[in-house]
Amino acid sequence: MCSPLALALATLGLACDAMPAMTCDDRSDVQAVDINGDGRPDVRIARHLGRELCRETDLNFDGPPDVIRVTSADGSPLWIGHDFDGDGRADQVEIHVVGRFRYMLRDLDGDGRPDLRQLHDDGRVNEEQAPPRQ
């Protein structure tokens, strides 16, 4: 799996061949919020020097996060991951460059590696399928 830092580096053209983990870096100051009162955190916000750097959200209240949002120091998004199958890895990742959505990675077969890569460029979408794996 890619770390949040490795995935952020992907925005600079340094590719990572695995989907990221759906967790914030616990070395930061983490605030846990229980929205539905079941005693488990539904939102976890990791901060550094008071700035939000990462937010995990459990949308269906089953425990593991369904969405993770990693931001830069200025608050603009670096990447947003979605875990659709509950395996703890992102199945879809939106990568932002200078606050703008630029790339989408999707793991279609659940093996933890991106199968589909899309480049979004001013309304145009260039799509690339990953080559078959042995």
Find, among 63, 110, 83, the residue nearest to 22 by Cα.
Answer: 83
Question: Does residue 130 have a pLDDT over 70?
Answer: no
Q: What is the pTM of this model?
A: 0.79
Residue 93: how many other CB atoms lie within 10 Å: 24
- Residue listed under structure tokens 């993770």: 68
Q: Tens of pLDDT along 33-89?
A: 999 999 999 999 998 888 888 999 999 999 899 999 988 888 899 889 999 998 888
